[in-house]
DNA sequence: ATGAAAGCGCTAACAT
DNA sequence: ATGTTAGCGCTTTCAT
C-alpha cells in the first residue's frame, strides 16, 4: 500500500480510503489508485485489516477423525455437507477454514477460535462427543454442530429429523408388506438412536416390536456392515427387509445380500439414509431418506452467525423426505 | 497478551517469549505464564503474529465451479482429494482455506494469494482453464493444479498417469475378449484426452482402431452419461464393453445398461476410473483404475511448498493401478 | 479532499 | 532473565 501511495503521489491514508471506496476521495483519484492497484496485482492485506478492525470473516469447519481407528472421514454424505457449507459461507462473504481434528482432543477446535483465526466453529458430526462439545460451548467458543438434539446441551445442533426419518423408512417397508426389518447402525450415536426410535415407533404402530435379533449394530463403516450382515445371514435369522442408517451402509448391505444369493428387492427390500448422489445410480436404485444437504449448509451457517452475535440459538431439526426407488418392492403381506 | 502480562506482573515481551518457549525465560516463569494462558483460554493471535513475522501457514484449496451449469462439484473423487489435502496439510502444520471459485473468473484465486490470506493455491481440476492457469502463474501466484501435463504450461501439475490408466483399462478389456469398447468421457478435458490416447494405444497394440461410433462424449455428469449411453444403445451400435472416465460415469453406465436389458458383465463389461470407495460396493463391484488419492494430497502439497520457495517444480505424474473386480468378465474372443 | 499520527497484537533487536 | 521500543500493514481520528 505504501508503494501505491508513493507511485500515486499521495499518502497511505488516501490509498486506504480510495480502495475502500470512501466518498471523501475524489472519484478521479479513486480510479487512478484502483487502476494502479490492479496493475500491481495488489490486494489489501486481510490480516492487517482484520487486526486493525478487530473483525474477521473466517469460519472454521471441523471434521473430527477417529485416531484410534485411523479412520478419515470419507463418507460422501459428510463431504457433501462440506461442499454445502462452502457454498453457504461463500454466499455470505465468509471464508472457510477446513480442519481435521482428533476426535479425542476437540480442544484444538477451541484454538481456532481463541487464536482469532475464526469467529466460530461448525463441527460436522456429533458422534459420541456430547460432553466435549458441551465443554467447548461452556468455554464460550461459538460452535454449531451437525447432529441431533440431546438433553442438556449447551451447544446448538442442526440436523435432519432423525425420528421422522426412521419412521418414514420403516413405515414404507411395513406398507410394502415387510414384517421382519433388520436395523443396521450404531445406536450409541445420538442420531442413530433417534432413527432407531422412529423405527420402533413405526413398528409399534403396526402392532410389532423391535426384535433384538434383527439389530446389526455397526458404525458408519461399510466393512463392518458387510461383516455384520454376513453374520446375521449365516445365523439363519429370517428377515424380509433392511433399514440401513446411511447409504454407504445400505450399499454394503445390498452387496452382501447379492453375494449371498438374496436378490434385492425380490427377496429383501432395502432402505438407506442420506440420499447421496450415488443412491440414484445404484443397482437397483436405492430407496432412501433424503437429508436436505443444501439447506443443511445454510442453516448451519445461519445458526453459527447468530451464535457469534451472542444469541441463544435453539437446535434445529430439518425435514427429511422418503425417496422411493427400486430397492423396495411390494410383496404379499 | 497484555492481560496475561499484567496478571503475571511481567512485560508483554516476556509473555511472548515464554509462550514461544524461549530459553531466555526462566522455566519457572514460563510455566507460570503457560498456566495462566491455559486458564484464560488464551491463544496467540495468529494474524498479529503472521503480520509481524511476515509469515503465513495457510494454503488455499480452490474448487472451481461452473457457473453456467450451476454445477457444484460433488464428484466423490474430488471431495476425496480435498480430504487427502486436509490430511497432508495438517501433517505439515498448514491450515487449509477452502474456496469455491467461479471457473470463469479464476482471478479470484489470485486474490487469495495477493491479499496474504494464503501462501499459495492448490487448484483441484484443470478442466478447460489451461490459459487462465497460465496467466495466474505468469502473475507469480504460487499455484499447483491437479491435472495433467500440457504443452507450454507455466504452472505445475500433479496428476495420475492418464495415458497409462487408459491403456490399463483398455488392455484389460481386450485381454478378456472385448473388441468393441465404448469410450465415455469428454476428450476436450486434458485428462480425458490422455486417457483416450491410452485407449487408442491399447487398441492399436491389438491391431484395432478407435471407432468414432463408439465414443460417448460427455462431461463428468451422471445424467449426461445416462443420456449418452441410452442414445448409443438406441442407435443399435454393437459393443461389448465400456470404458468410463470416472466411477460416477461408470455407475450411470451400469445403471443404464441394466435398465435396457444388458446385464453387466455377462453382456457388457465395464471399467471405471478413480476407484472411489463406492466402486468396491457397487453391484457388480466395479473394475476400475485406481488413482492414488492419499499420495495425491501429499504430492500436491509438496509441490506447492517447493513452488512457494521459488523452485521450478516440474509436473508430476503418479502411478495408477488397475483394480479388477466383477464388472469385467472373461468372454470368448 | 488529503495528510499526520496513533494503535490493532505481536516479536525481536537492543538495552539493562 | 527481563524490559523498552520499534514496526509488521492497515484504518481512522483529528488536523489542515
Is the per-residue pLDDT at A119 higher than 90?
yes
B219 CA – D4 C1', rounded, Å: 64
Separation of alpha carbons A242 and A271, rounded Å: 6
Partner-chain contact A76 B79, CB within 8 Å: yes
pLDDT band, very low/low/confident/very high, at B281 (cuts 50, 70, 90): confident
Average pLDDT of span A252-256: 94
Residue A74: predicted pLDDT:
73
Average pLDDT of span A184-207: 97
* Nucleotide nearest residue B27, measured CA to C1': D1
Rg (CA), chain B: 25
Which of B93, B283, B286, B301 best tests the A interface by mutation, with the highest count of A CBs <10 A? Answer: B283
Strand partners, B59: B96
Nearest by Cα to A29 from A41, A44, A17, A45: A17
A50 CA – D6 C1', rounded, Å: 21
pLDDT 10s digits, B293-325: 999 999 999 999 999 999 999 999 999 999 999
Residue A142: predicted pLDDT:
97
Residue B44: predicted pLDDT:
96
Q: Is A181 helix (H, G, I), strand (E, B) or coil?
A: strand
Nearest protein residue to C1's C1' (by CA)?
A25
Kindly identify which residue of chain A lies nearest to residue B111, measuring between CA atoms. A43
Is the per-residue pLDDT at A332 higher than 90?
no
Residue B96: predicted pLDDT:
97
Partner-chain contact B283 A111, CB within 8 Å: no
Residue B269: predicted pLDDT:
98
B43 CA – C4 C1', rounded, Å: 34
CA angle A250, A252, A257 (to 5 degrees): 90
The contacts of residue B312 (CB under 8 Å, 6+ apart) are none
pLDDT 10s digits, B3-52: 999 999 999 999 999 999 999 999 999 999 999 999 999 999 999 999 99
Residue A70: predicted pLDDT:
53
Is the per-residue pLDDT at A107 higher than 70?
yes
**Of A1-15, A63-77, A249-263, B221-235, which range is least confident?**
A63-77
Average pLDDT of span A153-174: 97
CB contacts of B285 in chain A (<8 Å) are 255
Name the pTM for this structure.
0.94
pLDDT 10s digits, A285-309: 999 999 999 999 999 999 999 999 9
Q: What percent of chain A has pLDDT over 90?
A: 88
Q: What percent of chain B has pLDDT over 90?
A: 88
- The C-alpha cell 476407484 sits at B275
Partner-chain contact A46 B117, CB within 8 Å: yes
Interface residue B27 vs chain A (CB under 8 A): no
Partner-chain contact B90 A97, CB within 8 Å: no
Strand intervals (E) in A191-291: 215-216, 241-244, 269-274, 287-290
pLDDT 10s digits, A80-97: 999 999 999 999 999 999
Is the per-residue pLDDT at A333 higher than 70?
no
What's the sign of the alpha-carbon dihedral A5, A10, A14, A19? negative
Is the per-residue pLDDT at B66 higher than 80?
no
Partner-chain contact B72 A83, CB within 8 Å: yes
Separation of alpha carbons A270 and A240, rounded Å: 9
Is the per-residue pLDDT at B278 higher than 60?
yes
Separation of alpha carbons A20 and B108, rounded Å: 18
CA distance A102 to chain B (A): 11
Scored b (16 or more CB within 10 A) or e, B222-259 reads: bebbbebbeebbeeeeebbbbbbbbbbbbbbbbbbbbb
CB contacts of B258 in chain A (<8 Å) are 283
Burial of residue B98 (CB within 10 Å: 0-12, 13-18, 19+) is buried
Interface residue A138 vs chain B (CB under 8 A): no
Nearest to A255 among B61, B252, B283 (CB): B283
Average pLDDT of span A188-217: 97
Which of A62, A65, A281, A283 best tests the B interface by mutation, with the highest count of B CBs <10 A? Answer: A281
Average pLDDT of span B60-83: 81
Is the per-residue pLDDT at B93 higher than 60?
yes
Is the per-residue pLDDT at B137 higher than 80?
yes
pLDDT band, very low/low/confident/very high, at B69 (cuts 50, 70, 90): low
Partner-chain contact A80 B80, CB within 8 Å: no
Is the per-residue pLDDT at B70 higher than 60?
no
Interface residue A51 vs chain B (CB under 8 A): yes
Nearest to A72 among B45, B76, B83 (CB): B83
pLDDT band, very low/low/confident/very high, at B331 (cuts 50, 70, 90): confident
Please provide residue B25's backbone torsions phi and psi, each rounded to the nearest 5 degrees: -90, 135
Separation of alpha carbons B155 and B181, rounded Å: 35
Is the per-residue pLDDT at A72 higher than 70?
no
Residue A277: predicted pLDDT:
86
Please provide residue B89's backbone torsions phi and psi, each rounded to the nearest 5 degrees: -70, -45
- The C-alpha cell 494405444 sits at B201
Output DSSP code: residue B96.
Answer: E
Is the per-residue pLDDT at B90 higher than 80?
yes
Interface residue A41 vs chain B (CB under 8 A): yes
Average pLDDT of span B95-112: 92
* Nucleotide nearest residue A45, measured CA to C1': D9
Kindly identify which residue of chain B lies nearest to residue A107, measuring between CA atoms. B41
Please provide residue A155's backbone torsions phi and psi, each rounded to the nearest 5 degrees: -105, 165
Separation of alpha carbons A73 and B238, rounded Å: 42
A30 CA – D15 C1', rounded, Å: 22
Summary mean pLDDT of chain A: 94
Summary mean pLDDT of chain B: 94
Amino acid at each position: 500500500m505504501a508503494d501505491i501511495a508513493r507511485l500515486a503521489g499521495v499518502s497511505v491514508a488516501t490509498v486506504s480510503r480510495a480502495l475502500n471506496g470512501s466518498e471523501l476521495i475524489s472519484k478521479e483519484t479513486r480510479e487512478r489508485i484502483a487502476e494502479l492497484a490492479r496493475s500491481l496485482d495488489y490486494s489489501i492485506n486481510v490480516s492487517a485489516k482484520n487486526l486493525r478492525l478487530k473483525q474477521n470473516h473466517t469460519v472454521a469447519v471441523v471434521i473430527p477423525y477417529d485416531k484410534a481407528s485411523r479412520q478419515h472421514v470419507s463418507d460422501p454424505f459428510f463431504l457433501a455437507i462440506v461442499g454445502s457449507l462452502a457454498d453457504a459461507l461463500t454466499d455470505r462473504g465468509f471464508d472457510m477454514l477446513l480442519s481435521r481434528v482428533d476426535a479425542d482432543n476437540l480442544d484444538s477446535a477451541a484454538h481456532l477460535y481463541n487464536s482469532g483465526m475464526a469467529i466460530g466453529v461448525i463441527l460436522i458430526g456429533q458422534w459420541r462427543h456430547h460432553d466435549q462439545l458441551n465443554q467447548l460451548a461452556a468455554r464460550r467458543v461459538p460452535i454449531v454442530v451437525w447432529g441431533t438434539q440431546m438433553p442438556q446441551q449447551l451447544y446448538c445442533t442442526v440436523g435432519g429429523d432423525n425420528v421422522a426419518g426412521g419412521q418414514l423408512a420403516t413405515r414404507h417397508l411395513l406398507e410394502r408388506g415387510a414384517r421382519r426389518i433388520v436395523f443396521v447402525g450404531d445406536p450409541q450415536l445420538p442420531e442413530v438412536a433417534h432413527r432407531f426410535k422412529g423405527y420402533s415407533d413405526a413398528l409399534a404402530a403396526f402392532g410389532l416390536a423391535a426384535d433384538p435379533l434383527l439389530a446389526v449394530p455397526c458404525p458408519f463403516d461399510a466393512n463392518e456392515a458387510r461383516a455384520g450382515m454376513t453374520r446375521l445371514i449365516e445365523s439363519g435369522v429370517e428377515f424380509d427387509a433392511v433399514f440401513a442408517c446411511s447409504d454407504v451402509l445400505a450399499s454394503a448391505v445390498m452387496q452382501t445380500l447379492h453375494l449371498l444369493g438374496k436378490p434385492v428387492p425380490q427377496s429383501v427390500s432395502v432402505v438407506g439414509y442420506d440420499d447421496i448422489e450415488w443412491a440414484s445410480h445404484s443397482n437397483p436404485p436405492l430407496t432412501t431418506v433424503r437429508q436436505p444437504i443444501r439447506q443443511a449448509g445454510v442453516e448451519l451457517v445461519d445458526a453459527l452467525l447468530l451464535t457469534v452475535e451472542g444469541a441463544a440459538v435453539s437446535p434445529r431439526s430439518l425435514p427429511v423426505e422418503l425417496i422411493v426407488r427400486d430397492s423396495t418392492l411390494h410383496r404379499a403381506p
